Amino acid sequence: MHILRSVIAAKTISLIVLAPFYVTAQEKSHVTSDQVTHAIQELEKLAQTQIQEHGLPGVAIAVVFQDKVVYAKGFGVRDVNTKTPVDADTVFQLASLSKPIGSTVVGALVGEGKITWDSKLSVLDPTFAMFDPWVTHEITIRDMYAHRSGLPEHAGDLLEDLGFTRAEILHRLRYQHPASSFRSHYAYTNFGMTEGGIAAAKAYGLEWEQAAEEKLFKPLGMSSTSSRYANFVT
């Protein structure tokens, strides 16, 4: 499964900065508590409206003001059968919102100096291969995060839908004919980024899940956030 797309789970799916709704960096210092309180009241109405209009089972929303969580609440249900309500601690999958989270983790690893964005995957993770042996030798973390590897768009996604493991999907990318020449086109690939993250973590002797915990989640006190699928299903 996609470690950078569909596995990372968090307490909330929305982080809203209100003043009352749109604020520039120059203006944010002028936001008052009263404005935030008013905006939160409007936000509650908006959440209920969105649930009704779009058929959403449930959402959770957090508002941060002056570096503090001033509002956290769930709306709707987490299970349409059991009607278990969503609350502020309900865990959600983040889908592709996890891309900037994953890149932040890799950026932290790069910042420690053992690797760079241009480190080759063939050095960091010799088990990984692309269809073209030359590309296998040359491809870098940057190539994967820039979606310029030559892999077809969403390469490997259907295999995940069929139940293949992450390791098996990454192994099978070597059989995938390229959709374009290396570094010539942009094509969004979840598993390309996945491999880039895994390779970066391996340079430090870490699994991706460990790297995410140590470099981002724990330092920020994100105790309900995880890259482990087991943590989501339980």
Each residue's pLDDT tens digit, 6-65:
344 433 334 333 334 444 554 556 889 999 999 999 999 999 999 999 999 999 999 999
Q: String of b and e for 14-42 (b: at least 16 CB within 10 Å)? A: eebebbeeeeeeeeeeebeeebbeebbee
Question: Which residues fall within 8 angstroms of residue 207, CB to CB, at 6 or more apart?
Answer: 201
Across 151-161, average pLDDT: 96
In this prediction the pTM is 0.79
Count CB-CB contacts under 10 A for residue 132.
16
pLDDT exceeds 50 at position 79 = yes
The superfamily CATH assigns to domain 96-233 is DD-peptidase/beta-lactamase superfamily (3.40.710.10)
* Domain limits, the chain: 10-90, 96-233
Least confident of 41-45, 130-134, 174-178: 41-45
Nearest residue to 147 via CA among 190, 200, 186 = 186
